[in-house]
Structure 1
Amino acid sequence: MEGLRWYVVDHVTFNTLRLALGVQITVPWLTFTGSYDAFARVALVTHNAGGNYRVFINRLQTSVDVRVGTNILGGGTLILRELNIDIVIHDINIQIDGMVGSSLLNNMINAWVQNMAQNLLRDELEAFSQLLSQQLFDVVAEFLANFTLDDLLG
C-alpha cells in the first residue's frame, strides 16, 4: 500500500460545552498492488489464473465526529454519546491482469469490475459508514470508560 503517509488534516473542531470533537482527514491517493494465483473448478471445467492487480483510490475523505459526556454516578468516567464516521471516496480504478488468456476479454472483465466498483461506491458507501459507526461505538465507549473528564482536558 502506498499513499497513506500523504494525508491532510482538513479541519479539527472542538466544542468544550458539548464535549464534541470533529476531525476531517483527506488522503489524496492510495494505491494497493500485489499479485494473485487462482484456481477454479466448475463441474469438469477448471481454470488457472494468475497475475498482478492494482487498486487506485483517488481522494479518500474521512470525517469523525465524537460527542462524549460524563457519568456523574460512576466516578466521572466518560460516556460516548455520539459517534459518526463518514467515508467518501471520489474515484476508484481497479486493474487486474492475467485473468484469462485473451487481453481483449481481460479488458472487458476489467471494465465490468470497474463499473461494478463505481456503482458499489455510489450505492453502498453511506451504509458502510453507518455500519462502521455502529460497530465501533461499543469499542470506543469501552475505551473512553477508562478515562475521566480531567484526563481528557488535563
Structure 2
Amino acid sequence: MDNSPPDRQIKSIPYPRVSLLAEDELFDPSSGLPSISCLTKHLQEEGRLDEKCALRLVELARKIFEREPNTLAIQRPLTIVGDIHGQFYDLLTVLAAGGDPAKTRYLFLGDYVDRGQFECECIFLLFALKINYPQNVNLLRGNNKVTTCSYTFIRMHMEENQQRA
C-alpha cells in the first residue's frame, strides 16, 4: 500500500530525450548567445548536446575566463553557492531560489563535478549563464579542478557520448 502524499506521487516518467541539441538550436543567430531556457529544458529532459554545440559553449566560456583577473571584485548583494558536485536539479533549485542571473549576482565556489550523475549538465548550464551574464555569474575553481581531474572528466564524458551515439 502506498502511503505517500498525493503531491509526491509520480504518475508517469517521461523517457529521456534522444535527440542531441545542435548549435543552431541553442545559439541565437544574431547575438551568438546560448538560450538559457532552451538549454535548461533540453537538459531537464536528460538530453545531450552534440559535440560542436558543447565545444562552442566551452570555447565561449574559456574566452571570458581568459579576460578575467585572477582576483575578482564582486559587488554586493550577491548569492554565494557552494559545491554543486554534478547535482543538476539542485543547481536549478538554487537558481530558482536565488533569483534570475540577469538581475542577481552569483559567486559559485567550485566543485561543479566529481560525484553527481549530471556533471556535464551542470558545467554546460553554468557556462551558458557565464556567457550570457559575465558580470553577474562568477565561477571559482574548486579544490578538484586540477589538470588530471579535468582531463579525466573530459575524457570520461566524451567516451560516454560516443557510446550513446
Greater helix share, structure number? 2
**TM-score (norm: length of structure 1):** 0.22
Higher gyration radius (CA):
1
Larger strand share, 1 or 2? 1
